[in-house]
Amino acid sequence: MSGDPPRPEGTMRDMIERHQVWAYLIAVIVGIIVGWKTSPGTMAPEYLVWALLGSLLYATFTQTPLTRLSEVFRDRRFMATLLTGNFLVMPAIIGLMLLTLPDNDALRMGVLLVLLMPCTDWFVTFTHLGKGDSTRAIAATPVLLIAQVALLPLYLWLFIGEQSAVDLNLWRHLLPAFMGLIMVPLVLSLLTQKWAECSAGASRFINVMGLMPVPLLTAVLFLISMTQVSQISATGRIVWILMILFPAYLLAAARVGQGLSRLFRLPLETGRTVIFSLGTRNSFVVLPLALSLPEVWNAAVIVIVLQSLVELFGMMFYLKWVPSKLLPIRSTI
């Protein structure tokens, strides 16, 4: 799309994004070690975590072309496939996956929060690296973001039930976090993008902000791992369950994307874009929501952090599997 900042191979941003998996893994491991050796509650004040999360979401949203919503609707087949997969087929599969989990509300909440929200950031990066259509991926991100924000309350009500949510005061905790840590950065990023349409300085600022999501998320993962290490050790059995569930989700997402791409007769590159969209989730956008919940829901935070790590390594597999096996050049759609 015209007007987008150039993203040539070898730039600082590409280098950061290529090494992000290892940065996140190291941050989690070091955070766990520091948390075990020290008293993390006194080392990481709560306001620091929230400030980093707010900055992270703002930096991420500035890279989402919110002012270009109309462009993505020009390809109706692509949008129909993307919305059908992300908001109809995959939620149904997630609902079936919940049936395999133990009776643990916090575990289910974490799984729902993270798997119901399509990714709007590194989805573009992995689409580009996996020989998908990054232009359509960029154009689709604001639609995905707005749709998931609108549909998340409905999904939680359907899967958890109104009575459970009321009993645990769920909405009283989710609503302030949603408004303060998602809607405020979203509105600010939209205003920034509007400003950039008539200011070269604002455009340069947005380009600089494009370098920030990976370092900020690395810092967030370090702090979360450090402060939640007791929860990690206390939920050891949950970890092993999720190590089966999340890879299973990635495999299902890839096959669903492949099937929908053929059903809607999408071009190869566009079909790969759909697969990467279904496979990637908005883990750190929902992390603030999980952190805002009362202590009874603490395991949801561990679920979201673990999912992000499983997904990142899963994307390494996707980069080879999707263009070479699922939708190779020789196949016909």
Go through the domains of the chain in sequence order and give each one's CATH number.
Answer: 21-326 (1.20.1530.20)
| Residue type for position 77 | R
Burial class (CB within 10 angstroms; exposed 0-12, middle 13-18, buried 19+) of 1: exposed
Query: Which of 92, 132, 166 shows the shortest CA–CA distance to 268?
Result: 132
Number of H helices and E strands in the chain, helices first, is 20, 0
Beta bridge pairs of residue 281: 118
Phi, psi (degrees; rounded to nearest 5) at 115: -85, -20
* pLDDT score for 4: 47
The secondary structure of the chain in percent helix, strand, coil, rounded to multiples of 5, reads 80, 0, 20
> Two tokens at 133?
């259509």
Distance CA 109, CA 315 (A): 24
Any idea what the Cα angle at residue 117 is, between residues 220 and 164, rounded to 5°?
95
pLDDT averages per 10-residue partition of the chain, 333 residues: 43 76 83 74 64 82 71 82 97 95 86 91 77 82 83 85 51 62 80 88 87 84 76 69 95 97 95 96 79 76 85 87 88 46
Query: How far is C-alpha 251 from the geometric centre of its chain's CA atoms?
Result: 17
- Contact assessment for residue 282 and residue 120, using Cβ atoms and an 8 Å cutoff: yes
Give dist(CA 16, CA 6) in Å, integer. 15
Q: Which residues pair with 118 in a beta bridge?
A: 281
For position 252, what pLDDT does the model report?
A: 98
pTM over 0.85? The answer is no
What is the pLDDT at residue 175? 61
